[in-house]
Structure 1
Amino acid sequence: MHILLTGGTGLIGRQLCQHWLSQGHRLTVWSRTPAKVAKVCGTQVRGIARLEDLGQEPVDAIINLAGAPIADRLWTHKRKALLWSSRITLTETLLAWLESREQKPQVLISGSAIGWYGDGGERELTEESPPVIDDFASQLCVAWEETAQRAEALGIRVILIRTGLVLSAEGGFLSRLLLPFKLGLGGPIGSGRQWMPWIHIKDQIALIDFLLNRNEASGPYNACAPKPVRNREFAQTLGSVLHRPAFMPMPTLVLKVGLGELSLLLLGGQKAMPARLLEAGFTFQFTDLRAALDDLSSRLKK
């Protein structure tokens, strides 16, 4: 299978490349820095700067994961514009290219996030639940999904991956928590009651591969373990795994003053459940948070 990836040099993209190379698939990554693709993703992975570089070479599937990190910087007007263009504008460019091609891929798997639902409070959220579009993150995800779904008009099956907080020792949100926790400054955020939908990186890769190979799969899927935890429990479990205290709270007011609108991403939460994945027969390797963090602990402690 020839698979085209956007965001192939990111945390999930790199792991997907390793996984699919081992299965013998042919991979192409559309990147702003194509010269770095082989080094980051594997020497057998081709990097291209423009989609037109593929010519009319057949592509069987597209994995659209590109997007600037949402929580790395304050949400200034400039940052919001970048977050928007790196997802929606890039997907629109992808769609225009697909429209011009004679041969079209069978499936487009496009990224999204559990933040699509907005702050869910205590509601249990399945793929049938409507969004509460109450912040920039939910607006961004809704627009991203709507843009990707336009590929259906081209006869392409569209799968939407609403990813939770990915647990990995190679980067992602967990890497940002390590320093304060290792210094004994870790603890709950705000009230600590907000729900955290998490997923181990191994399950994230496995479920994307699972959906890629299911001809009937389409629409949204919550990519999160079936046992979400509250923020306070997450902090206590991470502290226990790292053998560090986890009692230093980050007050709500401090977050709102220091981070502005971005604080909504940390103070809100989603009690999301992977209902459609479970119905489809996907089996999670990690359903218990402690087991998931224990699996990563040897690399987290370095």
Structure 2
Amino acid sequence: MKVAIAGGTGLIGSRLCEMLKKRGDDVIVLTRSQSKMKNAIPHVKWLNGEKPEPMLEGIDAFINLAGVSLNEGRWTIERKEAIYKSRMESTEEIIRIIGHVKKKPDVLVNASAIGIYPASINAVYTEESQEQSSDFLGTTVADWEEKALEANEFGVRVCLTRFGVVLGRGSGALPLIALPYLLFVGGTVGSGEQWLSWVHVDDVCGAIIHAIETPELEGPINVTSPNAKRMKQFGKTIGRTLNRPHWLPVPSTALKLALGEKSQLVLEGQYVVPEKLLSSGYRFQFASLEDAIIDLYN
């Protein structure tokens, strides 16, 4: 299988490249930097007027992970504009490329986020849920998905993979959440009742590959562990697994002062179920939070 990945150098993209190469797939990474070979994977320059179509003829799957990180920096007006604009511009460029290649890819797997669902302590969201958040993240995700679905016009199946809180080594959400515990000052964040729908990075990549290989999958696909945790239980599990105390609470007001609007990523949450993945036969490598943390901290 020949796969093109936009955003192939981040936490998810780099791990996905490893997994695809191990399978024997041909991988091409689209990058804003100079075209090059890295780890035997061709990196092709795109955006800023570049025309990468000749290198992308014959691809079977297009994976879009591109976009400014949600986790870095405060959500200033400028930062939010960059988060939104980077997602819309990269996806629009992918639609343009698909329109220009002679052989269309079979599938576009477009990254998305469970932030499209409203924060709730009681609701349980599946792909059939119609509720949609009207805040910055919800609006961004909705517009991003709408743009990606334009690939349908070229006969391309579109999978909108809605990622939960991705746990990985060295980057992503886990190092920030676990740091207080490693310093022996971990405790409940906010009320502790908010849900945290988490997922191990290997299951994110596994779900993407599963979506590519499962023709009946399309539209929204929740990519979360089937075992979401309330924040208080999530913290206790980290403390227990890392053999650290869970005792010093972190008030909501302190986080709002420190992080501003971005504090909603940890103070608010959703209980999201990966119904489509489960019903289509995907088996999670890390359905247990304890197993995921042990693996990531080894």
CA apart distance, 1:174: 0.7
User: Normalised by the size of structure 2, how large is the TM-score?
Assistant: 0.94
Matches for 1:21-40 after TM superposition, within 5 Å: 21-34=21-34, 38=38
Alignment deviations for residues 106-145 of structure 1 (CA, whole Å, 9 cap, x no partner): 1000000111113133101100112332321111111111
Alignment deviations for residues 170-196 of structure 1 (CA, whole Å, 9 cap, x no partner): 421112233322111222211011000
2:197 corresponds to which letter in structure 1? P
Q: Secondary structure at the match of 2:51?
A: helix
CA apart distance, 1:276: 0.9
Distance 1:115 1:142, change over 3 A: same
| Cα distance in structure 2, aligned partners of 1:34 and 1:17 | 18
Distance 1:134 1:57, change over 3 A: closer
2:44 corresponds to which letter in structure 1? I
1:59 corresponds to which letter in structure 2? I
2:71 is aligned with 1:45 = no
Alignment deviations for residues 240-278 of structure 1 (CA, whole Å, 9 cap, x no partner): 122111222211112223322212222110110011111
Distance 1:205 1:70, change over 3 A: same
Residues 119 and 134, structure 1, Cα contact 8 Å, conserved in 2: no
Task: Give the aligned length.
Answer: 294
Residues 36 and 44, structure 2, Cα contact 8 Å, conserved in 1: no
Q: Provide the residue aligned with 1:223 in structure 2.
A: 223
| Cα distance in structure 2, aligned partners of 1:183 and 1:170 | 16
Q: Provide the residue aligned with 1:72 in structure 2.
A: 72
1:48 corresponds to which letter in structure 2? V
Q: Provide the residue aligned with 2:2 in structure 1.
A: 2
CA apart distance, 1:37: 6.1
| Cα distance in structure 1, aligned partners of 2:237 and 2:294 | 10
1:223 corresponds to which letter in structure 2? V
Q: Provide the residue aligned with 1:165 in structure 2.
A: 165
Structure 1 portions without partners, runs of 5+:
none
| Cα distance in structure 2, aligned partners of 1:53 and 1:202 | 29
| Cα distance in structure 2, aligned partners of 1:260 and 1:125 | 26
2:33 corresponds to which letter in structure 1? T
CA apart distance, 1:45: 0.7
| Cα distance in structure 2, aligned partners of 1:67 and 1:14 | 15
Alignment deviations for residues 78-116 of structure 1 (CA, whole Å, 9 cap, x no partner): 101110121111101211222223221110000001111
User: Normalised by the size of structure 1, how large is the TM-score?
Assistant: 0.92
Q: Secondary structure at the match of 1:52?
A: coil
| Cα distance in structure 2, aligned partners of 1:120 and 1:34 | 44
Structure 2 portions without partners, runs of 5+:
none
Matches for 1:214-293 after TM superposition, within 5 Å: 214-293=214-293
Q: Provide the residue aligned with 1:189 in structure 2.
A: 189
Q: CA RMSD in A?
A: 1.6
Q: Secondary structure at the match of 2:296?
A: helix
Q: Secondary structure at the match of 1:238?
A: helix
CA apart distance, 1:35: 5.0
| Cα distance in structure 2, aligned partners of 1:64 and 1:165 | 18
CA apart distance, 1:210: 1.2
Runs (4+) off by over 3 Å: 34-37
Residues 135 and 264, structure 1, Cα contact 8 Å, conserved in 2: no
1:45 corresponds to which letter in structure 2? I
Matches for 1:97-246 after TM superposition, within 5 Å: 97-246=97-246
| Cα distance in structure 2, aligned partners of 1:243 and 1:161 | 34
| Cα distance in structure 2, aligned partners of 1:34 and 1:176 | 31
| Cα distance in structure 1, aligned partners of 2:161 and 2:57 | 26
| Cα distance in structure 1, aligned partners of 2:34 and 2:113 | 26
Identity of aligned residues (%): 37
| Cα distance in structure 2, aligned partners of 1:125 and 1:84 | 24
Moved more, 233-242 or 132-141: 132-141
